[in-house]
Structure 1
């Protein structure tokens, strides 16, 4: 897949607002081709940085299915993205009139299937998975499918929508590959096409590896940029591993390392203090994340502490969408397949759309729209 992504990226990258092809300049390209690449990259990044557009998701659907009990299995509630989605599920469940029980795997591989067993034992009407990998969890999901219990998830596969080969009817997510491409393009724009990049990923998750491959492909397509390394660091061990990893990278690459790209903001929670301890000025290294939009990321962006961007997920909105997709399944209908547009948070827009509360919460009225769909006050 990595080779396909690279080949595809070298030909074109879709623009966010216009869906027009973004031509890229391969290494050694002419100055005019490079300038064209940078200009198109700026258009994509500018489009992703605009305020949230009016709601373009579903406006009709089944009314609330009353009195349901939903089990939520979370990969790791220490992860700000996962916690934000679970909070959204709880908020929406209160409105729709459901009870929710949460099971936290704590990022521990040996606990994931156990939490699914515990969730099944709670006799739910449906299952929501937040984080994790649907295919890796398949042995634990099959008993739910055998009981004809609907399953939806968040960030459980590399693409939004139904997850083939699993009983997951809907993976709620922004487009992971578009998130990754926008993140890498933002680094290229900020560096004026001269970024020295390290990419952080977690190969335990297909979606994380796909994001990393996409970011690496974009960096390789920039003639003046250098992909220094793709570093595999387990998210569940980020606190343990990132300090020494950051020190080692500083030693290996020095000033050549000017941009850090990651599949999640959590890596930067543990890298930033090391950069400060090393005496680096905030301008020495820029960090951008392809997903999450945690409170700590917003704080770093607001204070100018190394992080210059995060392609923030609308975490609370995604929690509401999970509840809506589940409600449709419980009513015997199909899922919407809705994918929310990609949004890049930078210092220029960090206070908009919920940013004053350190979250990306689109100001597009989605709560009232879902209430109307469910016929709930």
Structure 2
């Protein structure tokens, strides 16, 4: 990334060599820098679009700790990414032999704390939070900490790994800032360095704000691109707000708006129909998402309906990782801190690694590896 930013930093002039007696013609060095920027951006994007690499996560750990009851508090089960992770937790829990109770906060502040209270009342051995912001949930998490109930989460903080200052032992996620950068670089590559960008985010979540800031920084570093606007739309209200928001942006920016970037695919579920109703051709605005790789996103990419990419999370794999991290805590061990590499899904590569089923499910044998760790058939 440093190389990309440095490539844009130089705006002086480079003189071209000329024949004797003929004045040299100045060649904009910025143009050279632009070509270098695009070349490096393409290298990063191409690397992110490769098929899943062999498993580079943990291969050893404690055997299955039997008879555990797990409470799962989901931020919003209308969100395809969250549903995918919950499905992975359920699949892994069945293998390891645990019982799971699922509670849905429906994306509302009042229900978040209520669902945590309900989870505590179910007397679980462990708590998994899927979505949300662990810092905002601290009042509801403190009773779990006081009872020494281990907590792990998915997308609950701005960074993957440990979450200092909270009871959450682990935030399972890909690197959110790298996800954001790859998303924005993909838009720049697809546009040839001439993207007119609107970014959708949700300021209720620090991870969303950080991803939006990272995308905006990449777009601003592209001298031929224009960051038209960063639009704040609550994910929980995207169905209600995105249709009118999309119409307003079309009216304001018209043909200058050529790329839509978002911190989650769900925004495009409600923007794409508006573009179709407005008579926009599928190539008029390209949509790319910095997470999570929902079924609807895969379908839009496959059919060529506006969306051209999503930096998809390995949702099912992350569900298995949550169970494994919890099992390590039950066994008195530390979490792995494992972070799965970033992967960009496009029409060119979506047939691999589960894309034919409209999901990103890496073909790296992770299920068998976790079964081996847990010593489960």
- The bucket for the TM-score relative to the shorter chain is over 0.9
Deviation of 1:27 after TM superposition, in Å, equals 8.9
Q: Mark the runs of 5 or more structure 2 residues left unpaired by the alignment.
A: 12-28
Q: Aligned residue for 1:17?
A: none
Normalised to the residue count of structure 2, the TM-score between the two structures is 0.94
Runs of 4+ aligned residues of structure 1 deviating over 4 Å after TM superposition are 26-29
Distance 2:40 2:88 in 1: 35
* Aligned CA distance change for structure 1 residues 235 and 310 (closer, same or farther; 3 Å): same
Distance 1:313 1:152 in 2: 17
Q: Mark the runs of 5 or more structure 1 residues left unpaired by the alignment.
A: 1-8, 14-21
Deviation of 1:177 after TM superposition, in Å, equals 0.1
Write the mapping of 1:9-158 to structure 2, written as runs, cut at 5 A: 11-12=2-3, 23-26=6-9, 30-158=30-158
Q: Give CA-to-partner distance per residue, 1:269-294, whole Å, 9 cap, x none.
A: 00000000011101110000001100
Distance 2:178 2:34 in 1: 21
Distance 2:10 2:159 in 1: 29
Q: Give CA-to-partner distance per residue, 1:98-122, whole Å, 9 cap, x none.
A: 0000010011111000000000000
Deviation of 1:24 after TM superposition, in Å, equals 4.0
Distance 2:7 2:373 in 1: 43
Q: Aligned residue for 2:372?
A: 372
Distance 2:82 2:3 in 1: 32
Q: Aligned residue for 2:19?
A: none
Would you say the 8 A contact 2:10–2:30 is kept in 1? no
Q: Aligned residue for 2:304?
A: 304
Write the mapping of 1:185-334 to structure 2, written as runs, cut at 5 A: 185-334=185-334
Distance 2:115 2:292 in 1: 23
Normalised to the residue count of structure 1, the TM-score between the two structures is 0.94
Larger radius of gyration: 2
Farther-moved stretch of structure 1 (22-31 vs 77-86): 22-31
Q: Does 1:161 align with 2:161?
A: yes
Would you say the 8 A contact 1:27–1:223 is kept in 2? no
Figure out how many residues of one structure are paired with residues of the other and give that number.
Answer: 360
Deviation of 1:235 after TM superposition, in Å, equals 0.1
Q: Aligned residue for 1:18?
A: none
Deviation of 1:25 after TM superposition, in Å, equals 1.4
Pairwise CA RMSD of aligned residues?
A: 1.0
* Aligned CA distance change for structure 1 residues 119 and 24 (closer, same or farther; 3 Å): farther
Q: Does 1:343 align with 2:326?
A: no
Would you say the 8 A contact 1:12–1:24 is kept in 2? yes
Deviation of 1:84 after TM superposition, in Å, equals 0.2
* Aligned CA distance change for structure 1 residues 173 and 220 (closer, same or farther; 3 Å): same
Would you say the 8 A contact 1:27–1:221 is kept in 2? no
Distance 2:74 2:283 in 1: 36
Distance 1:33 1:212 in 2: 25
Q: Aligned residue for 1:16?
A: none
